[in-house]
Structure 1
Amino acid sequence: MYTKIAIIATFFSLWLSGYLQSPNQEYAAFILIFSLGILHGSNDIKLLSKVDTSANTFKLVLYIIVYIAVVLIAGLLFYYIPTIALILFVIFSAFHFGEQHWNNIEGIGINFNRILFLSYGLSVLFLLFVCNPEPTIKIIFELCSIQFNSDWFVWLLAASVICWGLYAGILVYKKKLSLDRLLFEIFLLFVLALVFKTATLIWAFAIYFIYWHSIPSMLEQINFLYNEVSIKSFLKYLKSSFLLWLISISSLFLTFFLLQNEAYLYPLVFAFLGSITFAHSFIISWMFSLKK
């Protein structure tokens, strides 16, 4: 059911791209990312108490301390070793996106599934970069002071798509994946390519990030926490997420206000998302392991 809604929302956003010019596309993107995007990762503390039902108060406090430490360490990495941090961010994000998208596939084994998740996520990210090479290269330079070559995106995209295609083909051969599902996923990649090519980098990222990752992730989390997806369970999710969401948004805006430089906005957003992605991806993987 949600897949149909996501398809409609994606095509609507594609249509909207023709009417929204920069910077209006960026404004729309930031509204989506700062609301639903950050919200989907703001319920990690609640998830921690659910994934380890035997955890006492001391253990939960320890989990929270470790969680905050991972976020802070990731932030320090972006500040002191941005190149390493960026590489890790791309890898963790790709795996996280792929795991969310393919978590309902039975697969063949843990390592097989991990390569499937990673290769699919990398295919989406490098497709985004290939379709928006100049702004991507600019952000990489502002983050790491490295002048990236756009041809590298093409080769990395080709390698990722070939790897994903081979693994998806094996799943079809092993009857773990229907041919219809594979054809739909190929169709979806073509749709995303059209969106990525038409929209600006941040607006294109927001369209994928919100419709194909954040909202599906929230639905999975709500079902995991409350055993149903309803308005009532969503309000419970919103209530338990609000404080962490507010702290995250306030921290981001405070940092941007202190910098007082619009040129830092895109790198800051991606660095911020990268910092919270590291810890969040571990918890979501833990959640999915308990559901199997």
Structure 2
Amino acid sequence: MKNETQIIVGFILILSFGIVHGANDLLLIKKINGENSMTYLKTLLHYIMIVLVAVLLFSFIPWLAMLLFILVSSYHFGEQHWDKKIIHNTILITKLFHTVYGLFILLLLFQFHEKEVNAILYGITGIHFTFISIAALLEIIGFILVALFFYNFKTSKVFQKIFAVELLYLVVFAIIFKIGSLIWAFAIYFIFWHSIPSLFEQIKFLYGGFSNTNLKAYLKSAFIYWFVSIVGIIVLYFLLKDYKIFDSIFFSFLAAITFPHVIVIERMFTSKNKKTE
């Protein structure tokens, strides 16, 4: 597949499944809070405030916003991938493992596309991050991940059963990241190992189970939010397509709406897991 085709396919996947999987946050908030309208309103206001704070951070302290975005996204990826697969003794170890696993995935991607990643980071922050060795960071995080894998192997029988498969996944990720363009490689991971599994979990949480009927209900509920987002991105593209700042604004927009989404999904998992205990 040609690089241009990979980029087009990658953006199509991100703008479809990627945005849809985060388009029902308000419905999830309502489900989590039950019939308490005041609690729902309070949570909604917090949601909006987080988006606004993220926008302000990207406007005035972009390097800090990017650092937080990478760490929060790492935790989010790890949480989605490992929910109910392992059992830990403490919440701290669970959150650490989720973050380290997700960060390892992102650094692995960054390592194979270092020039492109640095260009995007410079466009957003105005800082050249060439003084930071992604390879060195990957080695450090990889060492911590190995230690956590060993800990989980010793403490979780469930982890022991899936250990070989999880290692195979990491090899598959490395191959995909190596042979694909940055956008395509990220899209393949983001859609097939994150967004689609997340959609499945959200539908089960909202409607009590997964079925074609419930999938249609989810998509119908998410359509307006998804449509507005797509129209906004298209308008932004035609206004700024001849400017280098488009990529920066596009990724900043995705980052800003990611922060509250991560919090909503964490609350969903917490609520879901309490009911199954």
Shift of 1:121: 0.3
CA contact (8 A) 1:129 1:153 kept: yes
Matched, 1:255 2:236: yes
2:30 aligns to what? 49
CA contact (8 A) 2:50 2:260 kept: yes
Structure 1 residues 257 and 62, CA, compared in 2 at 3 Å: closer, same or farther? farther
CA contact (8 A) 2:236 2:246 kept: no
One-letter identity of the residue aligned with 2:177: F
1:77 to 54, 57, 60: 57
CA contact (8 A) 2:87 2:156 kept: no
Q: State the alpha-carbon separation in 2 of the partners of residues 176 and 145 from structure 1.
A: 47
User: For 1:146, what is the secondary structure of its paired residue?
Assistant: coil
Shift of 1:67: 1.2
2:74 to 94, 102, 109: 94
Q: Which moved more, 1:181-190 or 1:252-261?
A: 252-261
Q: State the alpha-carbon separation in 2 of the partners of residues 213 and 25 from structure 1.
A: 19
User: For 1:223, what is the secondary structure of its paired residue?
Assistant: helix
Matched, 1:146 2:127: yes
1:59 to 39, 62, 68: 39
Structure 1 residues 150 and 40, CA, compared in 2 at 3 Å: closer, same or farther? farther
Instruction: List per-residue Cα deviations over 1:136-186 (Å, max 9, x = no partner).
Output: 111111111211227621111112122122112111101344334122111
Structure 1 residues 115 and 147, CA, compared in 2 at 3 Å: closer, same or farther? same
Q: State the alpha-carbon separation in 2 of the partners of residues 214 and 228 from structure 1.
A: 17
Taking only the aligned residue pairs, the percentage that are identical comes to 37
Q: State the alpha-carbon separation in 2 of the partners of residues 42 and 115 from structure 1.
A: 27
1:216 to 170, 173, 197: 197
User: For 2:3, what is the secondary structure of its paired residue?
Assistant: coil
2:220 to 217, 221, 239: 239
Structure 2: runs of 5 or more not aligned: none
Normalised by the size of structure 2, how large is the TM-score? 0.93
1:192 aligns to what? 173
Q: State the alpha-carbon separation in 2 of the partners of residues 64 and 139 from structure 1.
A: 31
1:161 aligns to what? 142
1:4 aligns to what? none
1:33 to 14, 20, 26: 14
1:275 to 238, 256, 261: 256
Q: Which moved more, 1:115-124 or 1:251-260?
A: 251-260
One-letter identity of the residue aligned with 2:100: S
Matched, 1:228 2:209: yes
Q: How does 1:104-183 map to 2 (within 5 A)?
A: 104=84, 105-149=86-130, 152-183=133-164
Structure 1: runs of 5 or more not aligned: 1-19
Q: State the alpha-carbon separation in 1 of the partners of residues 119 and 209 from structure 2.
A: 43
Shift of 1:54: 4.2
1:8 aligns to what? none
Shift of 1:276: 0.9
Q: State the alpha-carbon separation in 2 of the partners of residues 95 and 175 from structure 1.
A: 20
Q: State the alpha-carbon separation in 2 of the partners of residues 64 and 282 from structure 1.
A: 12
Structure 1 residues 75 and 251, CA, compared in 2 at 3 Å: closer, same or farther? farther
User: For 2:173, what is the secondary structure of its paired residue?
Assistant: helix
Instruction: List per-residue Cα deviations over 1:171-223 (Å, max 9, x = no partner).
Output: 11013443341221111111111100100101111000000000000000000
User: For 1:178, what is the secondary structure of its paired residue?
Assistant: helix
Q: State the alpha-carbon separation in 2 of the partners of residues 190 and 150 from structure 1.
A: 28
